[in-house]
Amino acid sequence: MKMSHRFAGSATALVFVITLGHVAADEYLNGIEWKEPAIVTPGENGGPPSDAVVLFDGKDLSEWDGAENWKIEDGAMIAGKGNIKTKQAFGDCQLHIEWSAPVPATGSGQGRGNSGVFLMDTYELQVLDSYENSTYFDGQAGAIYKQTPPQVNAMRPPGEWNVYDIIWTAPRFNEDGSLKSPAYITALHNGVLIQNHFELKGDTPFDRPPKYSRHADRLPIRLQDHGNPTRFRNIWIREIGADEGKQVRDPFLRDGKGNEKPIE
């Protein structure tokens, strides 16, 4: 009983303080009418949230074109002959993909566990066995190939699972084909930031400088065959929409009695 009396007393004092504070200060309101954020049930252990498109759940390759020579083993897909692409096309997106470098580790440099995640079929986030395997920095795991290295090397040993979580902003093009705004990527490797809103200079070829060429607003995700049996699992993607709000009036202030006034 004593405890609850004391609690009730302090709670009353707290409400009094909050009320005083509220009366004293004007509240700022931005005048924007927002669309209510959708409810999404998060996934368990890196699994897909309720609004994700599942691209590979360990069972079949039905979401992919060109996968005739890739196989599934123990819930993972194993890179085989030929690149594979999603049947669906994506623009701005959040992509989750898990991958594991081949065991035993064979080859060196770019020849060890090489694959790649190509956003929009064009822009490569490198997949490579970069565990105790040196190569050029802007070609190691987590690099935007030939443009920038990852900020750190967060690689797990071959055979263990790596996770990429990628936030992708698609480039925009003008009607005349010129670049309106570049692509941006933010990426985490095993939960560690490796790309922080990096502005891409264009595509990511081996043999010439990067450049932008006008393309569709949405294109498939491509996984690279570089001759190494890299494994993939748990691949899902969410499309990213714009924040939807309508400026219905100018921003204003409101005092504790509900009186409104403009911002000077």
Tell me whether residue 86 or residue 114 sits nearer to Mg ion (CB atom).
114
Beta bridge partners of 184: 169, 199
Tell me whether residue 48 or residue 140 sits nearer to Mg ion (CB atom).
140
Tell me whether residue 135 or residue 169 sits nearer to Mg ion (CB atom).
135
Q: What is the pattern of x (binds Mg ion, CB under 5 A) and - over residues 200-239?
A: ------------------------x---------------
Q: Rounded to the nearest whole angstrom, what is the least distance from the CB of residue 116 to Mg ion in the complex?
A: 3
> What is the CB neighbour count within 10 angstroms for residue 102?
20
Tell me whether residue 116 or residue 202 sits nearer to Mg ion (CB atom).
116
- Should residue 142 be labelled a site residue for Mg ion when binding is judged by CB under 5 A? no
C-alpha closest to that of 118 among 196, 64, 54? 64
Q: What is the pattern of x (binds Mg ion, CB under 5 A) and - over residues 47-86?
A: ----------------------------------------
Tell me whether residue 114 or residue 148 sits nearer to Mg ion (CB atom).
114
CA dist., res. 28 & res. 138, Å (int) = 46
- Should residue 113 be labelled a site residue for Mg ion when binding is judged by CB under 5 A? no
Report yes or no: 94 and 167 within 8 Å, Cβ to Cβ.
yes
Beta bridge partners of 253: 28, 261
Q: What is the pattern of x (binds Mg ion, CB under 5 A) and - over residues 20-39?
A: --------------------
- Should residue 116 be labelled a site residue for Mg ion when binding is judged by CB under 5 A? yes
Find the residue with minimal CB distance to Mg ion: 116
Q: How far is CA 47 from CA 86, 92, 150, 154, in A?
A: 19, 20, 24, 21
Residue type, 98: E
> What is the CB neighbour count within 10 angstroms for residue 261?
10
Alpha helix ranges (H) inside 92-187:
none
Q: Rounded to the nearest whole angstrom, what is the least distance from the CB of residue 135 to Mg ion in the complex?
A: 11
Tell me whether residue 52 or residue 64 sits nearer to Mg ion (CB atom).
64
Radius of gyration of the chain (CA): 25
Q: Rounded to the nearest whole angstrom, what is the least distance from the CB of residue 226 to Mg ion in the complex?
A: 5
C-alpha closest to that of 105 among 157, 28, 180? 157
Rule CB under 5 A: which residues touch Mg ion?
114, 116, 224
